[in-house]
Amino acid sequence: MNITPTAIPDVFLIEPKVFGDERGFFFESFSHAKFEAAIGRQVKFVQDNHSKSAKNVLRGLHYQIQQVQGKLVRVVQGEVFDVAVDIRKSSPTFGRWVGEVLSADNNKQIWVPEGFAHGFLVLSDTAEFLYKTTDYYASEFERSIIWNDPTMDIKWPINGEPILSAKDQQAKTLATEEHFA
Protein backbone atom coordinates (compact mmCIF):
# COMPACT_ATOMS: atom_id res chain seq x y z
CA MET A 1 0.00 0.00 0.00
CA ASN A 2 1.40 3.37 -1.03
CA ILE A 3 0.16 6.37 1.01
CA THR A 4 1.35 9.80 -0.12
CA PRO A 5 0.40 13.39 0.73
CA THR A 6 -1.28 15.47 -1.97
CA ALA A 7 -0.71 19.16 -2.77
CA ILE A 8 -2.48 19.80 0.55
CA PRO A 9 -0.26 17.85 2.96
CA ASP A 10 -3.07 16.71 5.32
CA VAL A 11 -4.97 15.02 2.46
CA PHE A 12 -3.51 11.64 1.46
CA LEU A 13 -3.79 9.52 -1.66
CA ILE A 14 -3.83 5.80 -0.93
CA GLU A 15 -2.93 3.31 -3.65
CA PRO A 16 -3.15 -0.36 -2.72
CA LYS A 17 -0.97 -3.07 -4.17
CA VAL A 18 -3.28 -5.17 -6.32
CA PHE A 19 -2.58 -8.85 -6.93
CA GLY A 20 -4.37 -10.05 -10.03
CA ASP A 21 -4.46 -12.94 -12.43
CA GLU A 22 -6.95 -14.69 -14.73
CA ARG A 23 -9.16 -15.51 -11.70
CA GLY A 24 -9.60 -11.88 -10.64
CA PHE A 25 -7.78 -9.75 -8.07
CA PHE A 26 -7.10 -9.20 -4.38
CA PHE A 27 -5.96 -6.13 -2.48
CA GLU A 28 -5.89 -4.92 1.09
CA SER A 29 -8.33 -1.99 1.07
CA PHE A 30 -7.61 -0.87 4.63
CA SER A 31 -5.03 -1.50 7.32
CA HIS A 32 -5.57 0.51 10.48
CA ALA A 33 -1.92 0.31 11.58
CA LYS A 34 -0.50 1.29 8.16
CA PHE A 35 -3.04 4.09 7.77
CA GLU A 36 -2.29 5.67 11.16
CA ALA A 37 1.46 5.34 10.65
CA ALA A 38 1.21 7.09 7.27
CA ILE A 39 -0.92 10.03 8.41
CA GLY A 40 0.92 10.39 11.73
CA ARG A 41 -2.01 10.25 14.15
CA GLN A 42 -4.66 8.00 15.59
CA VAL A 43 -8.00 7.73 13.85
CA LYS A 44 -11.15 5.92 14.94
CA PHE A 45 -13.74 5.17 12.27
CA VAL A 46 -17.33 4.85 13.54
CA GLN A 47 -19.52 4.67 10.43
CA ASP A 48 -19.36 3.25 6.89
CA ASN A 49 -21.51 4.76 4.12
CA HIS A 50 -22.34 3.56 0.60
CA SER A 51 -23.98 5.63 -2.14
CA LYS A 52 -24.86 4.99 -5.76
CA SER A 53 -25.23 7.86 -8.20
CA ALA A 54 -25.83 8.42 -11.92
CA LYS A 55 -23.56 10.19 -14.42
CA ASN A 56 -23.12 13.95 -13.82
CA VAL A 57 -24.46 13.77 -10.26
CA LEU A 58 -22.39 16.05 -8.06
CA ARG A 59 -22.61 15.46 -4.32
CA GLY A 60 -21.10 18.16 -2.14
CA LEU A 61 -19.26 20.06 -1.05
CA HIS A 62 -20.31 18.74 2.39
CA TYR A 63 -18.97 18.90 5.93
CA GLN A 64 -20.23 19.05 9.52
CA ILE A 65 -19.51 22.08 11.69
CA GLN A 66 -19.87 19.91 14.83
CA GLN A 67 -19.36 16.16 15.07
CA VAL A 68 -16.67 16.91 12.51
CA GLN A 69 -15.94 14.02 10.17
CA GLY A 70 -12.76 12.76 8.59
CA LYS A 71 -13.53 10.55 5.58
CA LEU A 72 -11.67 7.73 3.91
CA VAL A 73 -13.29 7.48 0.46
CA ARG A 74 -13.17 5.04 -2.46
CA VAL A 75 -15.15 3.83 -5.47
CA VAL A 76 -16.13 0.18 -5.96
CA GLN A 77 -18.08 0.57 -9.22
CA GLY A 78 -17.62 3.27 -11.85
CA GLU A 79 -15.57 6.45 -11.72
CA VAL A 80 -15.76 9.81 -9.94
CA PHE A 81 -13.78 13.02 -9.66
CA ASP A 82 -13.27 13.45 -5.92
CA VAL A 83 -12.53 16.83 -4.29
CA ALA A 84 -11.37 17.95 -0.84
CA VAL A 85 -11.36 21.67 0.10
CA ASP A 86 -9.46 23.03 3.10
CA ILE A 87 -11.91 25.15 5.12
CA ARG A 88 -9.69 25.69 8.18
CA LYS A 89 -9.39 29.49 8.36
CA SER A 90 -6.02 29.31 10.15
CA SER A 91 -4.52 26.92 7.59
CA PRO A 92 -1.98 28.14 5.00
CA THR A 93 -4.01 26.16 2.43
CA PHE A 94 -7.41 27.65 3.39
CA GLY A 95 -9.74 27.66 0.38
CA ARG A 96 -7.45 25.44 -1.72
CA TRP A 97 -8.66 22.17 -3.17
CA VAL A 98 -7.25 18.89 -4.41
CA GLY A 99 -8.99 16.54 -6.82
CA GLU A 100 -8.37 13.00 -7.95
CA VAL A 101 -10.11 10.49 -10.20
CA LEU A 102 -11.16 7.49 -8.12
CA SER A 103 -12.45 4.39 -9.85
CA ALA A 104 -13.13 0.71 -9.47
CA ASP A 105 -10.27 0.20 -11.93
CA ASN A 106 -7.57 2.25 -10.18
CA ASN A 107 -8.63 1.34 -6.59
CA LYS A 108 -7.31 4.67 -5.29
CA GLN A 109 -8.61 6.11 -2.04
CA ILE A 110 -8.41 9.57 -0.50
CA TRP A 111 -8.16 10.50 3.17
CA VAL A 112 -10.15 13.72 3.69
CA PRO A 113 -9.38 14.87 7.25
CA GLU A 114 -11.54 16.83 9.63
CA GLY A 115 -11.72 20.50 8.65
CA PHE A 116 -12.30 19.85 4.95
CA ALA A 117 -15.37 20.05 2.72
CA HIS A 118 -15.78 17.05 0.44
CA GLY A 119 -17.61 16.32 -2.80
CA PHE A 120 -17.53 14.20 -5.91
CA LEU A 121 -18.78 14.21 -9.50
CA VAL A 122 -19.80 10.95 -11.20
CA LEU A 123 -17.95 10.48 -14.50
CA SER A 124 -19.25 7.01 -15.47
CA ASP A 125 -22.85 5.96 -16.20
CA THR A 126 -23.18 5.08 -12.50
CA ALA A 127 -20.79 4.91 -9.56
CA GLU A 128 -20.87 3.29 -6.15
CA PHE A 129 -18.97 5.26 -3.55
CA LEU A 130 -17.89 3.94 -0.13
CA TYR A 131 -16.54 5.94 2.77
CA LYS A 132 -15.61 5.54 6.39
CA THR A 133 -16.22 8.45 8.79
CA THR A 134 -14.62 9.42 12.09
CA ASP A 135 -17.89 10.69 13.57
CA TYR A 136 -21.57 10.01 13.05
CA TYR A 137 -23.75 11.83 10.54
CA ALA A 138 -25.66 14.69 12.15
CA SER A 139 -27.95 16.55 9.73
CA GLU A 140 -28.30 19.54 12.08
CA PHE A 141 -24.55 20.23 11.78
CA GLU A 142 -24.19 19.55 8.05
CA ARG A 143 -23.19 22.45 5.84
CA SER A 144 -22.67 22.75 2.07
CA ILE A 145 -20.47 24.98 -0.03
CA ILE A 146 -21.66 25.58 -3.59
CA TRP A 147 -19.82 23.43 -6.12
CA ASN A 148 -18.98 26.32 -8.45
CA ASP A 149 -17.82 28.93 -5.93
CA PRO A 150 -15.60 31.21 -8.06
CA THR A 151 -13.16 31.86 -5.20
CA MET A 152 -12.17 28.18 -5.18
CA ASP A 153 -12.34 27.71 -8.97
CA ILE A 154 -12.56 23.91 -8.82
CA LYS A 155 -11.85 22.40 -12.23
CA TRP A 156 -14.73 19.91 -12.33
CA PRO A 157 -14.49 17.75 -15.49
CA ILE A 158 -18.01 18.46 -16.74
CA ASN A 159 -19.58 20.29 -19.64
CA GLY A 160 -22.72 22.08 -18.56
CA GLU A 161 -24.47 21.84 -15.24
CA PRO A 162 -24.25 18.88 -12.86
CA ILE A 163 -27.25 17.15 -11.31
CA LEU A 164 -27.61 18.45 -7.75
CA SER A 165 -29.82 17.60 -4.78
CA ALA A 166 -32.19 20.30 -3.52
CA LYS A 167 -29.86 20.77 -0.53
CA ASP A 168 -26.81 21.27 -2.75
CA GLN A 169 -28.71 23.74 -4.94
CA GLN A 170 -29.12 25.89 -1.82
CA ALA A 171 -25.45 25.68 -0.79
CA LYS A 172 -23.57 28.85 0.16
CA THR A 173 -20.19 30.20 -0.88
CA LEU A 174 -17.03 29.61 1.12
CA ALA A 175 -17.09 33.27 2.19
CA THR A 176 -20.65 33.08 3.57
CA GLU A 177 -20.78 29.54 5.00
CA GLU A 178 -19.48 28.55 8.42
CA HIS A 179 -15.98 27.11 8.50
CA PHE A 180 -13.35 26.12 11.02
CA ALA A 181 -10.97 28.41 12.95
CB 94 within 8 A of CB 88: yes
Active site residue 131: yes
How many other CB atoms sit within 10 Å of the CB of residue 22?
Answer: 4
Name the helix (H) or strand (E) containing 166: helix 166-169
Dist CA 129 CA 146 (whole Å)? 20
Catalytic annotation, pick one of 32, 50, 63, 131: 131
Dist CA 159 CA 140 (whole Å)? 33
Active site residue 32: no
Catalytic annotation, pick one of 32, 62, 63, 118: 62
- Positions marked active-site: 62, 131
